[in-house]
Amino acid sequence: MYSYIARQPILNAKQETVAFELLFRDGERNCFPDVHPDKATSKIIVDNQLTLGIEEITGELPAFINFHVDALMHNIPTFLDPKKVVIEILEDVSISDDLLEACKKLKRKGYTLALDDHDFDVKWDVFLPYIDIVKVDILDADIVELDCFLDKLKSHNVQLLAEKVETLTDFEQLKMVGFTLFQGYFFARPEMVKKKNILTAKQHILDLMSHASSSEFDFEAISQIFSRDLGLTYKLLRFINNPGYGPSKEISSLKHALIYIGEVELKKFIALLALADLKGNKSDEIIRASLIKAKFCEKIAEINLVSENPPKAFLTGMLSHIDGVLDQNISEVMDILPIHSEIKEALIHKENYLAKYLTLAGILEQGKWQEAKAIAKTMGVEEIGYLEAYQESISWSDAMLMIQ
């Protein structure tokens, strides 16, 4: 359910944190398991980039990530934003022409490359024109001997990063011989970061959410996502055939189903999927409350003659409990979802017309009829209108829950 990752700060000569190295961990003990380095790298990327994003771990600072030979040869780093990562080439990889060509390609794409635990072996000389940072383990190094080795790097435009800096004396001496970046226990030990994990199927949901939040809808791309997930396709067909949606229809293909349901309704269905599939072991009540608010907000928007694509009012209601579903602060969740700024404003600051829809729904949920009448009046909504909308929303939510 959870992913574990350790981060260790990388500092400049002023002892300012300028980046973090990300380290795979197997649990809260903060230790490195016996895992193949390619698997460790994949774990970091899948568990973090595909959930909250690596920038959430590093606070928008660059992330140094170890890549072993297979990951480099298969272009795994290109999944990541070149502005946000530094690709560390491990010291024990097998040197080959193919590896060199892979590094050249990454360099052309704008990635920053670092040699990890560099031992000054001549076999690495051919790589140096494409390297930006050289990391040196200085724990047992002699400073005079080290200075001699560093002379050979002066003809290359590389930054020197000292690893395992443990004392102030080390730090001061290393600055004098040309190191500009530093990492080690003198500054900080690796810090554990624990994030709630989202499994592979959940990623399909987040991909759909991204499309649903766009005013330009790509049915072909949406169809591809559904085609990779039997569960999603099954729920789509259940949705189409549900009495709460409309009359049944014979569907001949997945794309036919998507086009039949229509863009606006499909976006609502995606929001429903997102909430239901991300809820994990949460009670259905949190889904029911979200469904009621979603339909209610949509109906109040219709009363006020607000018609928008994507359907903002519906999505606002649907996402009103997403922080509880994911056990995350609402601001953090909004940062990683491609949601319209007005929806974010309503959910985080509760200060616009969409927030008023949610407030009215919440008041009705608590049976505070006089308060409901007062706030509805400020919105120009008659009592009969919001009461009927709320009742219809309850009926609709009950029908939708039958799909799950």
| pLDDT band at residue 242 under the 50/70/90 scheme | low
Alpha helices for 177-262 (secondary structure H): 200-212, 219-227, 230-240, 254-261
One domain, residues 206 and 333: yes
Q: Name the CA dihedral angle for 38, 63, 119, 149, rounded to a multiple of 10 degrees.
A: 170
Structural domain harbouring 111: 2-196
Q: Name the CA dihedral angle for 203, 208, 212, 213, rounded to a multiple of 10 degrees.
A: 20
Highest mean pLDDT (candidates 11-20, 59-68, 207-216): 11-20
Two tokens, residue 225? 């996502």
Here the CATH number for the domain that contains residue 356 is: 1.10.3210.10
pLDDT at 213: 63
Cα gap 68→92, rounded to integer Å: 8
Q: Is pLDDT above 70 for 240?
A: no
One domain, residues 144 and 13: yes
Two tokens, residue 297? 């907000």
Q: Are strands 133-137 and 159-163 parallel, antiparallel or unpaired?
A: parallel
Please name every residue paired with 112 in a beta bridge, in sequence order, or none if there are none.
86
Q: Is pLDDT above 70 for 310?
A: no
- The more confident residue out of 144 and 93 is 93
One domain, residues 235 and 220: yes
**pLDDT averaged over every residue in the chain:** 76
Q: From 177, 260, 263, select the one nearest 216 (Cα to Cα).
A: 263
| pLDDT band at residue 49 under the 50/70/90 scheme | very low
Domain boundary among 153, 175, 196: 196
One domain, residues 338 and 206: yes
pLDDT at 125: 87
Q: Is pLDDT above 70 for 279?
A: no
One domain, residues 346 and 396: yes
Q: How many CA atoms lie within 13 A of 32 on its CB side?
A: 13
One domain, residues 142 and 260: no
Here the CATH number for the domain that contains residue 66 is: 3.20.20.450
One domain, residues 49 and 134: yes
Of 33-47, 234-248, 318-332, give the lowest mean pLDDT range. Answer: 33-47
| pLDDT band at residue 165 under the 50/70/90 scheme | confident
- The more confident residue out of 110 and 211 is 110
∠ CA(50), CA(350), CA(365), 5° rounding? 100
- The more confident residue out of 247 and 185 is 185
Cα gap 87→98, rounded to integer Å: 17
Q: Name the CA dihedral angle for 93, 94, 96, 101, rounded to a multiple of 10 degrees.
A: -20
pTM, whole model, 2 decimals? 0.47
Cα gap 48→43, rounded to integer Å: 8
Q: Is pLDDT above 80 for 37?
A: no
Q: How far is CA 117 from CA 114, 225, 240, 244, 279, in A?
A: 10, 41, 58, 62, 43
One domain, residues 10 and 115: yes
- The more confident residue out of 306 and 173 is 173
Tell me which DSSP letter residue 90 carries: P
Domain boundary among 161, 196, 231: 196
Number of domains in the chain: 2
pLDDT at 181: 94
Judge contact between 230 and 251, C-beta under 8 A: no
Domain boundary among 137, 171, 196: 196
One domain, residues 102 and 211: no
User: Mean pLDDT, to the nearest integer, of 377-391?
Assistant: 91
pLDDT at 276: 63
